[in-house]
Structure 1
């Protein structure tokens, strides 16, 4: 059975696509990593980092939902526009899960903020690498190109996070 004829509700690729392969999710994973990196400079522990980063991401999520609802409201009505906005923006929240898990585990273990910053960046780059690999796989690239695409995607994401950190 070809990939296109497989039911859409099955498999890891569909799960990944629904939660992580959207512009909102990719934006979310990058900005959350930047929030964590910025918060590491001021936090005394993982819980400070987690509260600051998650709180800021939720504000960005609400702003994203608001913007999407406002632009869609005239065409679909408030309720439907809001539902679509939340669905469209949910990737921002899903994308923060791996780094959030790192922060929670680090908080339980008493890991210092600087170390948690590094670990959460690794988790973020892992998410971006998987997305890059998956994008090249969908294009039919060979394994070498998939791996190079994964590395390039993660490296570009890291550059953007560091750029965001530098201007804050």
Structure 2
């Protein structure tokens, strides 16, 4: 390793979040600490709250309509990113692949919060309990991504806690506003 390699390594490390571990932490940060993941979590929570209000709907239908709606949002994001990149003179293939990678957080945001709905499909819990579980898990996802953001920036422990609490409170407010609007 040459001195220039060390300089390049230090420069690239300074540009990345200060994650404390290797490839798994970088993969988590690259995929979870994204606008799409956070946005997707908020939208998915509001969707589930809204869809589940129908008295004649079962947990499977809530899960299906919630996921299908998120797929539509994903396709809209991929479309928008691809068109925008193509308009800047890039080839279609690269912008499309980049748009898919960039937008996949919208779909990933549905995974953890959907667990209670899957359990409700089996009949182990009611739809109301599942919706409460979706809300709780969604807020925990927001808390985890917020905490990771503070920790990766090496914030003091008290700033990590206060920042995470503030971020989750703001996330709850945005979910409720989105729910009220829909």
**TM-score, structure 2 as length reference:** 0.82
Asked if the contact 2:116–2:131 (Cα under 8 Å) also holds between the matched residues in 1, the reply is no
Structure 1 segment 117-132 matched on structure 2, within 5 A: 117-132=131-146
Q: Find the counterpart in structure 1 of residue 69 from structure 2.
A: 56
Q: 1:134 Cα shift?
A: 1.2
Per-residue deviation, 1:157: 1.0
Measured in 2, the distance between the counterparts of 1:95 and 1:10 equals 23
Instruction: Kindly indicate whether residue 46 of structure 2 is the aligned counterpart of residue 34 of structure 1.
Output: yes
For the aligned residue pairs, the C-alpha RMSD in angstroms reads 2.3
CA change 1:9–1:91 in 2 (3 A) is farther
Matched ranges for 1:66-145 at <5 A: 66-74=79-87, 75-145=89-159
Q: Distance in 2 between matches of 1:85 and 1:9?
A: 27
In structure 1, the residue matched to 2:30 is: 18
Larger-Rg structure: 2
**Per the alignment, in what secondary structure is the counterpart of residue 122 of structure 2?**
helix
Q: Provide the residue aligned with 1:44 in structure 2.
A: 57
Give the TM-score, by structure 1 length: 0.89
The alignment of Structure 1 onto Structure 2 pairs a total of residues equal to 166
Q: In the alignment, which residue of structure 1 is the partner of 2:7?
A: none
User: 2:5 is matched with which residue?
Assistant: none
- Structure 1 stretches (4+) deviating beyond 3 angstroms? 4-9
What is the Cα deviation at residue 12 of structure 1?
4.2
Which structure 2 segments of 5+ residues have no match? 1-9
Identify unmatched segments of 5+ residues in structure 1. none
Q: Is the 8 A contact 1:34 1:165 kept in 2?
A: yes
Higher mean Cα deviation, 68-77 or 136-145? 136-145
Quickly say closer, same or farther: Cα 1:35–1:7, change in 2 above 3 A: closer
The separation in 1 between residues aligned to 2:95 and 2:80, in whole angstroms, is 10
